[in-house]
Structure 1
Amino acid sequence: MDPSRAVADDVESNVPAPAQGAVPADSRPITSSHEGEYIQTNPAAQQPPPPPNPPQIPVIPQLDKTIQVFDELSCIPDECIKCVVSLLRDTAYHWWNTLVSVVPKERVTWEFFQTEFLKKYISQRFIDQKRKEFLELKQGRMTVTEYKREFVRLSRYAREYVSTEAIMCKRFNDSLNEDIKLLVRILEIKDFVVLVERAYKAEELGKEKRKVDFEARDSRKRSLSKSFQSASKKFRDDFSRSKAIVGYSRRDRDRPPVSSKVTSIASVGNVRPNQLECKHCGKRHPENCRLNDRACFKCGSLDHSICECLELAEQDSV
């Protein structure tokens, strides 16, 4: 058996350290001699109240909070152990002084204090529970910073699973999320601080990639939406034109037929605007001006005028 361990076990029992300013358990209220005699001669007299139990502060929350403060302040191990020893009180302080008196100075480290403190003041059931939490720890929805803090906190209860820094790095890497793990694993880092830094950078790269992918998807959605709206508008316009054409066709089908004479007049009327205005009569006609040639306005003959035209006479007789 380790002699330092045996001495430490002989110092105190496995009980939590009392808080600063707590009343000792064996303290008694001070009473006068007359009051004592009165109580002894009068058994029915009211006994003085028992001393209050000293307030107990849970050890683990205190230790975890202290370690968290050290992490936030970026304290080095030597500073951590000096600060935490200064917080020990009464039996805990005596236990630690006795322990370090029989342990070689080079073994008294921050890791050594945490290990011995857990053995002394924490039940084995609690340690087993925390060890199980450590073995089942996954990053999940935690950030790399949050996961690293939880990993370090729980690893104190499972030192045998992180016996070397290389093993610690492998376990930390194995519990990272897949997207970060793939980027970090190929580096084969065996320095825990460097590994955490690379995992943090991989996490930032993943966030940037997800942001770019989201913006690209959003841009494609907007483009597809515009194309769909344009196609819908074109379809509506084509449908409206087709309805209009069908309506015109029905109206033309229901309209009575137009005579050839009217058609010819309409066609002549359509051609007339393209003919030049005659400078003699002021009208538009395709042939020579009959007014200028003094020809018959009915048949165009130069031999007679319209009043002598036989075609006009025949038309009147009919």
Structure 2
Amino acid sequence: MYNLKLDKFKGHEGYEGVKRWLEHIEKTFRVLQSQGNLPFERWVETTSWFLGKESASWWEQEVCHLTPEERADWEVFKQLFRKRFVPPQYIDRKKQEFTELKQGKLTVNEYYRRFTDLSRYHPEVVANPVEMLCRFRLGTKKKWRSMATTTPCDSYQEFYEILLRIEDSEDMPSESEEEGKDDNQRKDDKGKGQASQGPRKTQSFK
């Protein structure tokens, strides 16, 4: 394990540091598990080897309040770990970003990904599908929102799929635009044909 060059977590890395460290640990463990070298129920125990003094002391205290099953549960560890080492101010800022998110110039896909990513900082809203749909709908472009509300849906994922179809239809050229392009193309072709003929040459009979 130590040959894998996994850094120790010292406890003051901040949110981005927590995220990178956990992702690196988890990715490494998945590879080891796929090779049959590290069963899932050993992930938490193995992670404790790479905790610094402060973070190790914190985990020892947490373990006292957990059941044997929870102590070996990787998802439980990640949840408690983030709760302890991610600054509350960061969570509050992300919650505000989620609440104030608007589509603006974003594409439907970009807005959907941003909305989904930020929603994890507001678990109370995520637990309510009706509230999620309402917030997602309010953040979309007013014109598209009016068009999409004519189609019933039960989740923000369904509303997202409706918006995708609206976006695709707006990107497609209208029939009048197509006809205009065809007319212009015919004029261009005609002009090119005339230009290619060049001046006429008269035959000399001398």
Summarize the Cα distance change of 1:63–1:196 in structure 2 as closer, same or farther, 3 Å threshold. farther
**Residue matched to 2:120:** 156
Taking a change above 3 Å as real, the CA distance of residues 24 and 136 of structure 1, as seen in their structure-2 partners, is closer
Is residue 2:154 matched to residue 1:190? yes
**Correspondence 1:89 to 2:34:** no
Q: Shift in Å at residue 160 of structure 1?
A: 2.8
CA contact (8 A) 1:114 1:156 kept: no
Partner in structure 1 of residue 17 of structure 2:
58
Which consecutive unaligned segments of at least 5 residues does structure 2 have? 28-39, 185-206
Check whether the contact 2:137–2:145 (CA below 8 A) recurs between aligned residues.
yes
Q: 2:67 aligns with which of 86, 99, 102?
A: 102
Secondary structure of the residue aligned to 1:58 is: helix
Alignment partner, residue 204 of structure 2: none
Report if aligned partners of 2:9, 2:21 keep a CA contact under 8 Å in 1.
no
| Residue 201 in structure 1 maps to residue 201 in structure 2 | no
Higher fraction of helix: 2
Give the equivalent residue in structure 1 for 2:95: 131
Q: Residue in 2 aligned with 1:241?
A: none
Q: 1:115 to 1:89 in 2, by over 3 A?
A: closer
Q: Is the 8 A contact 2:153 2:159 kept in 1?
A: yes
Shift of 1:121: 2.0
CA distance in 1, matches of 2:74, 2:151: 31
Name the CA shift for 1:159/1:103 in 2 (closer, same or farther; >3 Å). Answer: farther
Equivalent position to 1:169, from 114, 118, 133: 133
Q: Give deviations 1:186-237, integer Å, cap 9, x for gaps.
A: 22312333222222122112212xx227826955x96xxxxxxxxxxxxxxx
Inter-CA distance 179–213: structure 2 relative to 1 (3 Å threshold):
farther
> What displacement does 1:126 show?
0.7
Does the 8 Å contact 2:18/2:82 carry over to 1? Answer: no
2:7 to 1, 22, 33: 22
What are the within-5 Å matches in structure 2 for residues 41-80 of structure 1?
A: 58-60=17-19
What is the aligned length?
158
- Post-superposition offset of 1:60: 3.8
Amino acid in structure 2 at the alignment position of 1:167:
E
Q: Deviations over 1:130-189 (max 9, x none)?
A: 111111101111111111111111111122334311211111111111232122222231
Amino acid at match of 1:22: D
Matched residues in 1 for 2:170 and 2:125: separation?
30
TM-score under structure 2 length normalisation:
0.54
Match of residue 177, structure 2, among 195, 215, 239? 215
8 A contact 1:139–1:176 mirrored in 2: yes
Larger Rg: 1
For residues 97 and 17 of structure 2, the distance between their equivalents in structure 1, rounded to whole angstroms, comes to: 20
CA contact (8 A) 2:97 2:118 kept: yes
The 1:24–1:216 alpha-carbon spacing in structure 2 relative to 1, beyond 3 Å, is: closer
Does the CA contact (< 8 Å) of 1:168 and 1:192 recur in 2? Answer: yes
Identity percentage over the alignment? 22
Rounded to whole Å, the distance in 1 between the matches of 2:146 and 2:133 is 14
Distance 2:21 2:111 in 1: 21
CA contact (8 A) 2:95 2:122 kept: yes
Contact 1:179/1:206, CA 8 A, preserved across alignment: no
Q: Which structure is richer in relative contact order (CA contacts within 8 A, separation 6 or more)? A: 2
Q: Secondary structure at the match of 1:119?
A: helix
Residues 61, 207 of structure 1: CA spacing in aligned structure 2 closer, same or farther, 3 A cutoff?
farther
Read off the aligned partner of 1:137 and give its amino acid letter. Answer: L
Distance 2:64 2:160 in 1: 34
Letter in 1 for 2:113: R
